[in-house]
């Protein structure tokens, strides 16, 4: 039901176009039904010399001259006229129905992408990107192909079958009954057959996507493959699935190749019967040669829409599956809820406070149990703790990538859930452990947070982030295209572009999650220089493993077992002799070792 509602919703804006398509399709069918009749006129009335029916005679009486040649000419003109009308209808049908199906696909694609763009990160924790991608592409394609021609095609096919049957019945009801007996059998046979074919095709599709997965996996990890000399292993992997694809494709083709000839033979057998008995009737004078020709021409075409109808059941099943998958995304309500009376985030001071915040990603496994601390405006707060203690989680809760399960986060005393989501997030700038770059120019990557930034501002931001120098040395400077995922840049360069990006955004609160963790000491220094400039005059929350980076912090929060275990300045925490002091001593030991080496 929900699926039908979705399809109806999608089609609604195109009602007018669909009516045009339907009219064109009907005209096409009508013209195709009429084509054999001029032949009948020529055979029966021109060659055979039969009298024309009364009404036609009256009409022809008004024409100049009444000879056989005129009649033949008229039949010929009629033949061309029908073909021409049919051609125009076919042109209108195929163009307008394509425009409807493209429009439907566009609307659906945008609607799905819009929804995906707004889903909570919790959705992406549990759903493969590949699955969403295949819905956006192939499922929508399936619906597109069906949207106009499919639904209307069924209607026209049914009308054509009935129309032809009535005409055949009128021409010779005994023969017509023969067709009526063969048709359901054919319908049954073809739809049975298509089920087998569908299973075989499914297997081929499965093998093909497996093959793509193996290829992607192999090529993406080419660096490791070559490092470990695992080329033959990867080739063997592909060989296995490629062979399986080959086998299943051949099997599917074996089934498919049998279908059309089998149908053709059945049709030929019934045609042969009519040809044989019909010839007898014509000789005996109970049927005209023209009637027989018209009948045979209908018979040969009668089974085409019957076959199409059998195929349709399959297409409908496919569309149902595709629509279900699209529907599943559209109905996902894993969005971060925005209150109906949410207001723009606008805080004069900007004091962030965690009040007894509890959080779990997966029900039953607590990450934060009871976290309470305060970040004053303009303060630099460091967060430390063992790996897995929930530091990054804290960073994700502030911009509401997730909502806490208990307690609340407030800014100037107002629960952040009362703000409009977009306007809340505008107040934060991020530099994370690994800066994600997009395929595009360096300048585009820097201005990602504010696409209207001028070239001068971009260069200034890069200068402050210590990135200007290396960008200028690149072949085309700021217009150099960075490869996918920024693979052509070093880790330190990527981070400095991330910092430039935060400069451009120029938000009052900075969230830094181990921005230097992946860098060596020398590179870290260059990045830290940029970071320090960025942090000036901003409220900063910085997560760090290396405590040295937090020496300038106003306050350090130590997380352990889901609660704030210690809190205070560097010196205070050292004199406390607890977790922080332990971490500090361990790290300065390695420093001395490093220095000695
Ligand atoms: P690290 O120092 O290694 O970065 P962290 O303190 O930042 O660790 P978090 O990333 O906040 O730790 O993770 C806290 C806990 O939550 C971990 O046990 C982790 O396994 C779990 N976790 C993190 N992200 C998710 C997620 N998306 N889904 C489920 N569990 C998660
Ligand atoms: Mg982390």
From 364, 392, 547, the mutation candidate for ligand 1 (largest count of ligand atoms within 8 A of CB) is: 392
Whether 61 shows a pLDDT value over 70: the answer reads: no
Closest by CA position to 330, among listed 108, 104, 8, 12: 108
pLDDT value, residue 515 = 85
Cβ 71 vs Cβ 51: under 8 Å: no
The C-alpha atoms of residue 39 and residue 143 are separated, in whole angstroms, by 41
Residue with tokens 């929060």: 557
Ligand 1 binding pocket includes 513 (Cβ within 6 Å): no
96: CB partners within 8 A, 6+ apart: 17, 20, 21, 24, 148
Residue 38 vs residues 152, 286, 297: alpha-carbon distances, Å: 29, 21, 12
Nearest CA to ligand 1 atom 11: 390
Q: How confident is the model at residue 597 (pLDDT cuts 50, 70, 90)?
A: very low
Query: Of all protein residues, whose CA lies closest to atom 28 belonging to ligand 1?
Result: 361
Question: Residue 346's CB: how many other CB atoms inside 10 A?
Answer: 11
Residue 381's beta-bridge partner residues?
A: 541, 555
What is the CA 433 to chain-centroid distance, rounded?
A: 29
* Separation CA 34–CA 40 (nearest Å): 11
pLDDT band at residue 531, thresholds of 50, 70 and 90?
A: confident
User: Residue 107 has which token pair?
Assistant: 């609307």
Residue 452 CB–ligand 1 contact under 6 Å:
no
pLDDT tens for each residue of 162-212: 888 898 898 888 888 888 888 888 888 887 887 888 788 888 878 887 888
Neighbour tally for 2: CB within 10 Å: 11
Report the 10 Å Cβ neighbour count for 325: 20
User: What do you get for the CA distance between the two ends of the chain, in Å?
Assistant: 72
- Contact status, residue 512 vs residue 499, Cβ threshold 8 Å: no
Q: Do 307 and 183 contact (CB within 8 A), yes or no?
A: no
Indicate whether residue 571 lines ligand 1 (CB < 6 A): no
Cβ distance 389 to 366 under 8 Å?
no
Question: What SS3 state is found at 196?
Answer: helix
Quick one: which H or E segment has residue 384?
strand 380-384
Query: Is the alpha carbon torsion for 320, 324, 325, 327 positive or negative?
Result: positive
| Among the bound ligands, the one closest to the CA of 562 | 1
In degrees rounded to 5, what are phi and psi of residue 411? -120, 125
On the CB side of 177, CA atoms within 13 Å amount to: 2
Choice among 146-155, 429-438, 519-528 with the minimum mean pLDDT: 146-155
Query: How far is Cα 448 from Cα 453, in angstroms, rounded to an integer?
Result: 9
Question: Chain centroid to CA 287: how far?
Answer: 59
Testing ligand 1's pocket by substitution, the residue of 391, 433, 512, 564 carrying the most ligand atoms inside 8 A of its CB is 391
- Which residue CA neighbors atom 9 of ligand 1 most closely? 390
**Best of 361, 363, 395 for a ligand 1 pocket test (most atoms within 8 Å of beta carbon):** 361
Stated as kind and residue range, the H or E segment containing 570 is helix 570-576
388 CA distance to ligand 2 middle (Å):
7
Say if residues 458 and 497 touch (Cβ distance below 8 Å).
no
Q: Find the 367 Cα to ligand 1 centroid distance in Å.
A: 8
pLDDT tens digits, one per residue of 241-268? 999 999 999 998 888 888 878 888 888 8
Report the separation in Å between the CA atom of 394 and the middle of ligand 1, taken as the mean of its atom positions. Answer: 10
Report how far residue 84's alpha carbon sits from residue 134's, in angstroms, rounded to the nearest whole number: 42
> Do the Cβ atoms of 244 and 262 come closer than 8 Å?
no
Residue 64 has pLDDT above 60, yes or no: no
Helix residue spans in 366-407 (DSSP H):
391-397
- Widest pairwise Cα distance in the chain: 122
Our CA angle for 79, 80, 82, nearest 5°, is: 70
Residue entry with tokens 């996507």 = 209
Mean pLDDT value across residues 419-424: 89
Mean pLDDT (the chain) is: 85
> Does pLDDT of 476 surpass 70?
yes
Q: What sign does the dihedral 166-172-173-174 (CA atoms) show?
A: negative
121 lines ligand 1 (CB under 6 A): no
| The pLDDT value given to residue 62 | 55
pLDDT beyond 80 at 589:
no
Task: With a cut of 90, say whether residue 89 has pLDDT above it.
Answer: yes
What pTM was estimated for this model as a whole? 0.75
Helix (H) or strand (E) holding 467: none
| CB of residue 392 inside a 6 A radius of ligand 1 | yes
**Pocket flag, ligand 1, residue 445 (CB < 6 Å):** no
Looking at the chain, the number of H-run helices and the number of E-run strands are: 22, 12
**Site of tokens 């007018």:** 16
Query: In which band, very low, low, confident or very high, does the pLDDT at 506 lie, cut at 50, 70 and 90?
Result: confident
What is the arithmetic mean of pLDDT over 107-121?
Answer: 91
Least confident of 18-27, 185-194, 416-425: 185-194
Query: Which domains does the chain show, CATH number per domain?
Result: 2-330 (1.20.1560.10)
Nearest atom in ligand 1 to 121's CA: 27
Return the pLDDT at 222.
84
Element (H, E) at 257: helix 231-284
Task: From residue 76, give the alpha-carbon distance in Å to each of 21, 42, 55, 466.
Answer: 28, 9, 20, 83
Which H or E run includes 17? helix 15-34
Q: Which two tokens stand for residue 53?
A: 């029916």
DSSP-H helix ranges across 288-431: 289-331, 391-397, 421-425
Q: Which two tokens stand for residue 72?
A: 């033949």
Compute and round to an integer the Cα radius of gyration of the chain.
Answer: 37
Contact 480, 446 (CB under 8 A): no
Closest CA to 467 of 525, 526, 522, 511: 526
Query: What is the separation of C-alpha 460 from the centre of its chain, rounded to a whole number of angstroms?
Result: 38
Using alpha carbons, list the distances in angstroms from residue 591 to 60, 208, 523, 588: 110, 53, 17, 5
**CA–CA distance, 586 with 581 (Å, rounded to integer):** 9
Dist. CA 262–CA 265, nearest whole Å: 5
pLDDT at 59: 62
């Amino acid at each position: 039901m929900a699926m039908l509602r979705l399809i109806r919703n999608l089609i609604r804006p195109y009602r007018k176009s669909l009516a045009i398509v339907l009219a064109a399709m009907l005209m096409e069918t009508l013209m195709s039904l009429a084509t054999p009749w001029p032949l009948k006129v020529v055979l029966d009335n021109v060659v055979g010399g039969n009298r024309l029916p009364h009404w036609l005679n009256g009409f022809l009486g008004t024409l100049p001259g009444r000879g056989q040649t005129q009649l033949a000419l008229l039949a010929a003109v009629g033949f061309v006229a029908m073909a021409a009308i049919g051609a125009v209808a076919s042109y209108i049908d195929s163009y307008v129905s394509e425009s409807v199906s493209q429009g439907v696909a566009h609307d659906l694609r945008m609607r799905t992408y819009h929804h995906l763009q707004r889903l909570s990160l919790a959705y992406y924790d549990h759903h493969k990107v590949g699955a969403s991608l295949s819905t956006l592409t192939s499922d929508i394609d399936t619906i597109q192909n069906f949207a106009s021609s499919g639904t209307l095609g069924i209607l026209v096919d049914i009308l054509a079958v009935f129309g032809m049957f009535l005409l055949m019945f009128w021409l010779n009801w005994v023969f017509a009954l023969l067709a009526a007996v063969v048709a359901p059998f054919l319908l049954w046979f073809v739809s049975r057959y298509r089920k087998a074919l569908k299973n075989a095709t499914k297997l081929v599709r499965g093998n093909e996507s497996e093959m793509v997965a193996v290829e992607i996996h192999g090529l993406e990890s080419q660096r490791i493959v070559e490092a470990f000399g695992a080329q033959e292993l990867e080739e063997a992997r592909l060989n296995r699935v490629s062979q399986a694809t080959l086998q299943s494709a051949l099997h599917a083709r074996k089934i498919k190749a049998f279908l059309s000839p089998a149908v053709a033979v059945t049709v030929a057998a019934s045609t042969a019967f009519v040809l044989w008995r019909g010839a007898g009737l014509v000789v005996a004078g109970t049927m005209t040669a023209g009637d027989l020709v018209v009948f045979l021409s209908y018979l040969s075409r009668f089974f085409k829409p019957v076959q199409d109808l059998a195929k349709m059941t399959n297409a409908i099943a496919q569309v149902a599956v595709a629509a279900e998958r699209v529907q599943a995304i559209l109905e996902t309500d894993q969005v971060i809820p925005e209150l109906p009376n949410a207001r723009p985030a606008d805080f004069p001071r900007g004091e962030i406070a965690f009040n007894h915040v509890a959080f779990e990603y997966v029900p039953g496994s607590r990450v934060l149990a009871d976290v309470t601390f305060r970040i004053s405006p303009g303060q630099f707060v460091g967060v430390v703790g063992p790996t897995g203690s929930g530091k990054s989680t804290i960073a994700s809760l502030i911009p509401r990538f997730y909502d806490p399960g208990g307690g609340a986060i407030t800014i100037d005393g107002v629960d952040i859930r009362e703000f409009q989501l977009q306007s809340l997030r505008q107040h934060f700038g991020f530099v994370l452990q690994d800066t994600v770059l997009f395929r595009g120019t360096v300048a585009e990557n820097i201005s990602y947070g504010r696409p209207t930034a001028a070239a001068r501002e971009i260069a200034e931001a890069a200068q402050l982030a210590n990135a200007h120098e290396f960008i200028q040395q690149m072949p085309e400077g700021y217009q150099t295209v960075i490869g996918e995922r920024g693979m052509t840049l070093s880790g330190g360069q990527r981070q400095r572009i991330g910092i430039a990006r935060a400069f451009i955004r120029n938000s009052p609160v900075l969230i830094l999650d181990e921005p230097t963790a992946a860098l060596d000491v020398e590179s870290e220094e260059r990045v830290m220089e940029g970071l320090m400039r960025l942090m000036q005059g901003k409220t900063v929350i910085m997560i760090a493993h290396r405590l040295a980076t937090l020496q300038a912090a106003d306050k350090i929060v130590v997380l352990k077992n889901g609660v704030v275990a210690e809190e205070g300045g560097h010196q205070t925490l050292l004199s406390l002799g607890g977790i922080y002091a332990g971490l500090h001593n361990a790290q300065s030991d390695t420093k001395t070792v490093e220095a000695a080496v």
